[in-house]
Amino acid sequence: RHAVRGLWNGSASARMLSPRLKEAAEFYVNDNKHKVDYRGPRRAGLDGKQILCQLKEKARLRTLDGSEEPFSSLGWGRLVPPQALEKLPGAPFKTCAVVASAGAILNSMLGKEIDSHDAVVRFNAAPTESYERDVGRKTTIRIMNSQILTDARHNFSDSPLYRNVSLVAWDPAPYTADLYQWFQSPDYNLFTPYETRRKASPSQHFYVLHPAFIWSLWDVIQSNSQEDIQPNPPSSGFIGIIVMMTLCDEVDVYEYIPSVRQTSLCHYYEGYFDNACTLGAYHPLLYEKTLIRRMSRATEEDLKRKGKATLPGFHTVTC
């Protein structure tokens, strides 16, 4: 409750979390699995426009293009799609919707509003079937973490969830974004299923985000907080929002910042309950969401009733 109010007014802090989530965040700070060594500034209190300009300057969208080792020697220059992600058919899109997978979207009746956008982004294994009334039926891009590609339960190679849409995958790499190290020990080996799908379906637009892009987002989040944020990559949701701010004139985000329907139900499509899904344990969600809240131009009514944040595309902003 406390933390959600903090998110609504754009000033959430770890102090507002339950002892359990506070301890979880502290565990990750001490663990520092990805060997984050951040030397940049920590200035809280930038306004929305300043954050927007900081992201526009620092967080340039990058995907693996096969030009760097070890990928160049492996022939990824020919493996990756010939056109950049920014040049996806239809891009730049006028209006985009980003649909967070939160349980709070249940009973939202947002489906029609979501589908009215030119492009709709969904995450990981989030389905539309039998949830159309609340989440819509259209999917343009699916953004996935590497577990989706490797965990047999998700059946990446055959599931219709990953067909007839553009795909963007990511995996946590060391903070230095050393591509050799990453290639040798990814969190989950997404490289093999990526190659397999690219060869089997060369016309499907399928990209892997560059680890330097992921960590540049993290740097912006940390630079806007005086607290030590979790030294782990931002959530797929945050990554997807920033990707779409690069591809769209305007981005509407749904149920990422929790609405009045806020619930501990983790995902709308499965019966698992944990507040960490909304407020963060591994991912620095509380801090990501604070930045999105500050940049949002949605009305307070839309924020609270729809869990809606409205963000301008980077190319519409003059810094």
Query: Which residue among 6, 233, 237, 307 contacts ligand C5P (CB under 6 A)?
Result: 237
**Residue 292 makes contact with ligand C5P by CB under 6 A:** no
DSSP H helices, 32-65, are: 48-58
**Residue 245 makes contact with ligand C5P by CB under 6 A:** no
Closest CB to ligand C5P among residues 81, 108:
108
Do 223 and 43 form a contact (C-beta atoms < 8 A)? yes
Report d(CA 305, CA 292) in Å as an integer: 17
Closest CB to ligand C5P among residues 102, 173:
102
Do 147 and 154 form a contact (C-beta atoms < 8 A)? yes
Q: Where are the beta strands (DSSP E) in the chain?
A: 93-99, 119-123, 141-145, 166-170, 206-208, 248-254, 265-267, 270-273, 308-312
**Residue 101 makes contact with ligand C5P by CB under 6 A:** yes
Closest CB to ligand C5P among residues 106, 317:
106
- DSSP 3-state assignment of 31? helix
Query: Which residue among 24, 36, 100, 120 contacts ligand C5P (CB under 6 A)?
Result: 100
**Residue 231 makes contact with ligand C5P by CB under 6 A:** no
Stretch that binds ligand C5P, among 44-52, 59-67, 96-104, 155-163 (CB under 6 A): 96-104
Cβ-Cβ contacts under 8 Å for 193 (sequence gap 6 or more): 149, 150, 156, 157
Task: Label residue 310 exposed, middle or buried (CB < 10 Å: 0-12, 13-18, 19+).
Answer: middle
Stretch that binds ligand C5P, among 37-45, 97-105, 164-172, 181-189 (CB under 6 A): 97-105
Do 169 and 186 form a contact (C-beta atoms < 8 A)? no
Closest CB to ligand C5P among residues 76, 268:
268
**Residue 266 makes contact with ligand C5P by CB under 6 A:** yes
Query: Which residue among 108, 128, 166, 278 contacts ligand C5P (CB under 6 A)?
Result: 278
Binding mask 102-141 for ligand C5P (x = CB under 6 A): xx-------------------xx-----------------
Closest CB to ligand C5P among residues 146, 236:
236
**Residue 235 makes contact with ligand C5P by CB under 6 A:** yes
Closest CB to ligand C5P among residues 22, 154:
154
Report d(CA 177, CA 188) in Å as an integer: 16
Using CB under 6 A, count the residues that bind ligand C5P: 15
**Cβ 122 to ligand C5P shortest distance, Å:** 8
Cβ-Cβ contacts under 8 Å for 301 (sequence gap 6 or more): none
Closest CB to ligand C5P among residues 195, 274:
274
Report d(CA 309, CA 311) in Å as an integer: 7
Task: Label residue 84 exposed, middle or buried (CB < 10 Å: 0-12, 13-18, 19+).
Answer: middle
The number of angstroms, rounded, from the C-alpha of 220 to the middle of its chain's C-alpha atoms is 14
Residue given tokens 């029609």 in the structure block: 112
Tell me the residue number closest to ligand C5P, measured at CB.
237
Direct distance between the N- and C-terminal alpha carbons of the chain, in angstroms, rounded to an integer: 35
The residues binding ligand C5P (CB under 6 A) are: 100-103, 123-124, 235-238, 256, 266-267, 277-278
